[in-house]
Amino acid sequence: MTSLFVVLLLAFESIGGIFFFNKKKNREVDEESDQEYDHLLCKYVTDGSGRKIGESISIDDDVVIIKSKERFLGVPLKHIEDKGKTLLVKGLVDFDKAYEMGEKWRKNSFYELDQTEAVEEVNDGL
């Protein structure tokens, strides 16, 4: 009976170890891909003329998200060049498309509270 218990314990330990190590490898791959573009964040972004567009705040797949005043812009990484303290957008920027990509990121990334629902809940409680 004891030997059966030891065999089962060793089997569970080896199976659990396989799953543990696989998850660790996946986590390391995710961390490496996140760190690959960290050097592009929190930098001012300029266009070819040297005009400031905004500041890089996030990377979404292969798109750099730029905060420009009240708007969010999305520019593909292939159009971004790292110039040390700043990022340069190579080529002409289609601001309509960039705004569309930035808005898509914003909607997926932020939870917006519907103020009308919040007010209705407060009034119902009175």
| 53-109: pLDDT as tens digits | 999 999 998 999 999 999 999 999 999 999 999 999 998 888 899 999 999 999 988
- Of 17, 36, 14, nearest to 25 (Cα)? 17
Q: Are 53 and 46 contacting, i.e. CB atoms less than 8 angstroms apart? A: yes
Coil vs helix vs strand at 113: coil
pLDDT at 76: 94
What pLDDT, in 10s, does the model give residues 27-57?
Answer: 554 555 557 888 889 999 999 888 999 999 9
Q: Are 89 and 43 contacting, i.e. CB atoms less than 8 angstroms apart? A: no
pLDDT at 90: 92
Domain ranges of the chain: 1-36, 38-109
C-alpha neighbours within 13 Å on the C-beta side of residue 87: 24
Helices (H) and strands (E) in the chain, counts: 3, 6
pLDDT at 38: 84
pLDDT at 24: 53
pLDDT at 109: 87
Q: What is the reported pTM?
A: 0.63
In DSSP notation, 21-46 reads HHHHHHHHHHHHHHHHTGGGSS-EEE
d(C-alpha 95, C-alpha 73), whole Å: 8
pLDDT band for position 10 (50/70/90)? low
- The CATH number given to 38-109 is 3.10.20.840
CA 46, 48, 50, 52 dihedral sign is negative
Look at the block and give the residue holding tokens 């409680």: 125
